[in-house]
Structure formats: structure tokens, C-alpha cells
Amino acid sequence: MKKVAVITATRNRAGSPERPGYLEPCIRSVCDQDYENHVHVVVDDGSVDATPDLVEFYADRDPRIVYLRREKPDGERMTASIAQNMGIDAVMNPDKYGKTDELGGVECVAMLHSDDLLPPHSLGSRVEAMEDNARDACVYGAMNIIRECDCSRVFLTLRPQPSMGSMDLNQLYMAVSRRVIPFPNHTMLWKKGFLSYVGTFDPDLSLGEDFDMSLTTMKKAMSIGCGMTAVDQPVYYYRSHSDSITGMLGKSTIKADRQRIREKHHDIPSQRALMLRRLVRRPHSFLPEPVKKILRPVRDYFRGAAGSVYTDGFAEEMAGLGSDFWDSRKARVYV
């Protein structure tokens, strides 16, 4: 069985007794994987909340959890890339971090954002696909999108394209880079050796670092004649919510990041071309946010009637979980 490292960068996601944060269900979803030969590397990006205590609480119960911490310098740009890269570096050089026993022998690497979830079969299905397609460089799969307002329902599923060999991978790259089709960027599982060739996340990006990494992965795979294997079932649950990094960024940062990605991947259309395409395909997206908030329930009602929005067993179970960490803290207060 291949040993898999799941890397999660986090900052101030522990929450509070009144409102538990996203990090706890994220950790629990990895602990509950059917595929047991894994290690979860949680990189704390300078949190000032109860994140260290929360991770320690679960690490005491599951030795596969590894906690790393970096202090975030004042004025550093808001990005998950730097902490994610620290996790990658720890997997590549475990002795450098004193984690040889925990991180030694890792063969595959996956990423998981601290506000997202992995369904129980996630690692197992991707590792199986990798073993069945030994010449391919990495595996990706379908991704379900859930919302903060109703985490028990799936509002959208991004389906992967069929498995792509090294020749067809160019077609996938062109379609994704030109935004013809969406790509489930968060679902990548890399072979460790291939990831060292691909490199790390761009630390100068606050927005789109996963998209940038996907395009880089495709180009690197094509350069060595490898393909990418697709898993059709959902292997990742992406949570859409108002407290994401994207929602905190200013317009100038978003514009600069988009420009940087275009400069790195020349096949990406200009922002003007993307806006024209968006106007044709999704004119409603130009409506003011207050108007969109009113219209979303109407849209979701009709999607639900059509079956495209549905209650999901795993998402419903995770949404209904209590907080063992915060409950334990309350118990200590009253003892």
C-alpha cells in the first residue's frame, strides 16, 4: 500500500465554542479515510486562535496527524501557497523538520484546504486508480461543491474529463487554460517524485494558485510523456463560504494575480475576452450582489426540482457532527 501525505494549510480556522470552525471537520474527514496508510500534515500559518490546541487534541488520538507551524511575518501577502509549500518541503525532506518517522516512505501527495472535506473513499479510490495506471503522473477526480448556508446539500459537481494519455493531455490543457471547461483543481494526487519535478505553489499568488498548479502539472506531464488518470466519483468536497481568502482580497490583488497567471500560461484568454464570454454565458453574474442574494434561493429551488441540487449523505453527516474539541473544553471548565 502506497503511503499518502495529505497537506493542509490553515490559519485561524479553529472557531469558537459558539461557532466551531472548519478545521475540525476537515481533520476528521482525513482520520475517517477507508485507506489507512496516510499521514495528515497540518501546517499552521501563524494562527492566533485555538488551532494548535485543536490539532494537538486530534493528534493525541491519531498519530498520523503531523503538526507544523510557521510564523507569518507582518505585511506578508494573504496566500495559502507559502504554508502549502512548507508542507511539501516537509514531505520531501522529513529529516529537516525532525519528522523522519512520521513522513518517511511517503509515495503520493494530495492537498486539502482547511475548510474542505474528503469523503471516506477519497484516498483509496485515487491510489487504486494510480496503481491501475502506473505510467500516469497523477490522478484527479470529481469534486462536489457545498455551501455554508446548507452544508448538507451538493449544489454542483465538477466532473473530470475521461482519462487523458500524454497525447490527449494537450487537448485537456488547452480546454482548461482557455476556460472552455472547469477543472477540479483541488483533487490532484501526485506521485511524490513527479511533484518534486512539478515544483511548488506560486507564493506570489493569493488567488488561483490551485488553477496555476493544475496547468503547470499538465505541462510537466506532457513534457515527460506521461498522462493523468481521472476518477469519475467525487473525491473532494469544496465548501463555498463568505470567509474564504478570495472574499478578503481587494480588486487590485485579484487583477494582478489573474495577470500573473496569464503571463505564466500564454494560452489563457485576456480578461476582456473572459468577460465577454461570461456576459454571453452567465449574464446574471453581472447583477449587484444584493439582487443575486434574492435570486439564489429561486435558482436553487428549480435546480433541486431538476435533481441537480440534492441532499448528500456524507455532507449531511459532516454537517450534523458536533465538536469533540470544543465540547472537551467546556467539560474542563465545569469540572
Return left, alpha or beta for 169; rule: phi > 0 is left, psi -120 to 50 is alpha, else beta.
Answer: alpha
Q: Structurally, how many domains does the chain consist of?
A: 1
- What's the pLDDT score for residue 87? 98
User: Is 301 part of any domain?
Assistant: no
Q: Return d(Cα 282, Cα 275) in angstroms, integer.
A: 10
Assess if residue 296 is contained within a domain: no
Of the candidates 138, 116, 127, the one whose C-alpha atom is nearest the C-alpha of residue 236 is 116
Check residue 56 and give its pLDDT. 97
Global pTM value: 0.88
Strands, E assignment, the chain: 3-10, 38-45, 65-70, 106-111, 138-147, 150-158, 189-191, 228-240, 310-311
Q: What is the pLDDT along the chain (335 residues), one digit of tens a residue?
A: 899 999 999 999 999 999 999 999 999 999 999 999 999 999 999 999 999 999 999 999 999 999 999 999 998 989 999 999 999 999 999 999 999 999 999 999 999 999 999 999 999 999 999 999 999 999 999 999 998 767 788 988 998 876 665 558 888 898 888 888 889 999 999 999 999 999 999 999 999 999 999 999 999 999 999 999 999 999 999 998 877 777 677 888 888 998 999 889 876 666 666 566 566 666 766 777 677 667 767 766 665 555 567 788 898 899 888 899 999 987 654 33
- 299, part of any domain: no
16, three cell numbers: 469558537
Residue corresponding to grid cell 473513499: 121
Q: Which residues of 162-176 are buried (b: 16+ CB within 10 A; e: fewer)?
A: ebbebeebeebbeeb
Q: Does some domain include residue 288?
A: no
What local confidence, expressed as pLDDT, does residue 89 receive? 98
* pLDDT given at position 79: 93
- Residue 335's pLDDT is what? 36
Is 283 domain-assigned?
Answer: no
Is 300 inside any structural domain? no
Q: Is position 314 within any domain?
A: yes
Q: What's the CATH number where 123 sits?
A: 3.90.550.10
Per-residue pLDDT at 304: 57
- Residue 295 confidence (pLDDT): 73
pLDDT score of 333: 45
In a domain, 92, yes or no: yes
60 lies in which domain range? 3-270+309-334
Determine the Cα–Cα distance for residues 102 and 5; give it in Å rounded to an integer: 10
